[in-house]
Amino acid sequence: MFSKILIANRGEIACRIIRTARRMSIRTVAVYSDADIAALHVALADETVHIGPATASESYLSKEKIIAAARQFGAEAIHPGYGFLSENADFAEAVEAAGLVFIGPSPASIRAMGLKDAAKALMERAGVPVVPGYHGDKQDAAFLAERAAEIGFPVLIKARAGGGGKGMRRVDRPEDFASALEAARREAKSAFGDDAVLIEKYLTQPRHIEIQVFGDSHGNVVHLFERDCSLQRRHQKVIEEAPAPGMTEEMRSAMGEAAVRAARAIDYRGAGTVEFIADVSEGLSPDRFFFMEMNTRLQVEHPVTEAIAGVDLVEWQLRIAGGEPLPKTQAELAIEGWAFEARLYAEDPSRGFLPATGTLSHLRFPDGDIRIDTGVREGDGITPHYDPLIAKLTVHAPTRQAALAKLARALQDTQIAGTTSNLDFLVGLSQQPDFVAGHPDTGLIDREAETLTAASIPDDIALAIAAIFEAGALARLPGSDPWQVLGAWQLWGEVSRPVTLHHSGSHTNCRVIAKGQDLFSVHFDDRTVAVRIINRNDDGCRVEIDGQQLRADFFQTPHDMTLFLDGRTHHFHRPDPLDGAEEEAAGGDRLVAPMPGLIKIVRVQEGDMVAKGEALIVMEAMKMELTLTATRDGVVESLHVGEGDQTSESAVLLSLRPEDAQ
């Protein structure tokens, strides 16, 4: 077994590998960029080495720097994690050429599955069913449009070298094909350096089910059952579970055997995942599943497999890379219970899951037997340089119902402030009726998007508690004189204070009135809420409203306040009365950058007429393309950026002529 390994990655996966290595008494070397000088994975590793600027191409994607660091610090092997160089055959080859061990499959295996078109052809020869489509080399746009018409719409355009939903577009109509192809190629070229695509039939009622496989250097291959990854947004997974709901032993056996055949066909070694798409228009059936791709690395969602199979897949990786045989045979593997994993991201579901940046000024995870995989701590920043994953929450219980209830409660008990996150979206998704009933499919989130992604609007109870907090009534311990609690003195009448709450792009006016010891009345325009403070501590309070007791937690900065109540998160902004920027921006005359990024396409010129919702600028940020649209009808008065420009967050990209000047 190795005595020291270098981890060629960052964030959550680097921290996860370090934990297993430490348990196995293996020393670890962490690499870090300028942006990660104080990162958690750097703090956890035994030794660390700086490898370059924040830009991934100059640090985490630099093969030469990583291999040099491994040799300098005496590491015997390199673990690539996932993402970055994990599926780069040239890197694996260079590692081996340097006399080190690549903790993963052989370069030949990676290459065999690296291009989706070639992989599908290989799988067909191995007797693994594949999705109907065009997987050839001819890439002429007109030719691809003809193939799409032959396959029949809807179709899916997929980057042949892709992954993670990048370079992928669903096309429902022939007239949309050309623009979708252009966008997919552009994104694929940026992400993978290869703009070739393949065209596949889009299944209208699909489920994404994948099989975890493992091979060793002694000719043994096993599968560790399935994961259902059907809950996706923008072709990226959100909540995964194992086993798959509704799975029969017949279908599990058929999929498992197909996955093992796929792994044997490329002499696979190490951890890998064979991804299938299942047509569930008539329920799960062993004759209606198709190979999509094979990921020649550890998957982000591997914890659910570890939970139901009772294994540590990173330990298996290390042992197999060290030459040992598989720890278990297929007959020794069995499913125990049910597991779910939810991915907590810094992103805004109400804005198309736009990635977010910011500082995790408040971060609390639930207590109990909840597995938390994270690469950040409270106070860490979410930067535009890397994937905005905050954490993965994994739960395990004897039954699906118990595990899902446990997941919902864990999400409700999680608290985040300082950056926008998908936490409330995950809470809602974990309770979505079709998902709860065990009927997930890849279109569920899109169908329920309006409900699941709506910005959290505080109800009267949340508004009343927030108003009492903003009035200063919780700044003193319960039992205080109500005349003093609101910081006022008056000759007669009740003590009161007006409060304006700014939330969700709107505001609410109310008045907080002290009615007696620990009792307050919050008056809105046409309603009143009575609130009794039961007890209070530094982080929040317990209140009674209409005979019901609730726990409310708060986090505040000079500019905002966050209320955590009943599993929901409500953000309240405190505007600066001397700052007119918000009022100016509200007019819709300016298009601003939602985050730092690169301007890829500018579709308009000064003087052009534009319509509300029309695509104006395409920018690239956090490894994906963002299309920015007109906020209203108007005329482009001025352009402030050009194609190829780098832009900062909140920078004005384009201005429309004021409406009164049209």
- Residues designated catalytic: 297
Sign of CA dihedral 458, 462, 463, 466: negative
**Residues making up the chain, counted from first to last:** 662
Nearest to 364 by CA among 319, 417, 314: 417
Residue 568's CB: how many other CB atoms inside 10 A? 17
Q: How far is CA 363 from CA 18, 370, 470, 602, 655, in A?
A: 22, 15, 22, 38, 37
Report the alpha-carbon distance of residue 98 to residue 377 in Å, rounded: 35
* CA dist., res. 87 & res. 9, Å (int): 13
Look at the alpha carbons of 355, 356, 357, 359 in this order and tell me if their dihedral is positive or negative. negative
> In DSSP terms, which residues pair with 634 in a beta bridge?
610
β strands within 476-559, DSSP E = 495-503, 506-516, 519-523, 528-536, 540-545, 548-556
Q: Which amino acid type is present at position 523?
A: H
DSSP label at residue 283: B
User: Strand, coil or helix: what is 278?
Assistant: strand
CA distance 219 to 332: 17
Among the listed residues 60, 12, 5, 64, the one whose alpha carbon sits nearest the alpha carbon of residue 35? 60
β 47-52/415-417 pair status:
unpaired
Query: What is the sign, positive or negative, of the torsion defined by CA atoms of 456, 462, 467, 469?
Result: negative
3-class secondary-structure state, position 256? helix
Which residues, 6 or more positions from 526, have their beta carbon under 8 angstroms from its beta carbon?
Answer: none
Q: Which residue has the tokens 């306040």?
A: 561
For residues 189 and 238, is the Cβ–Cβ distance under 8 A? no
Task: Give the C-alpha separation, 596 to 646, whole Å.
Answer: 7
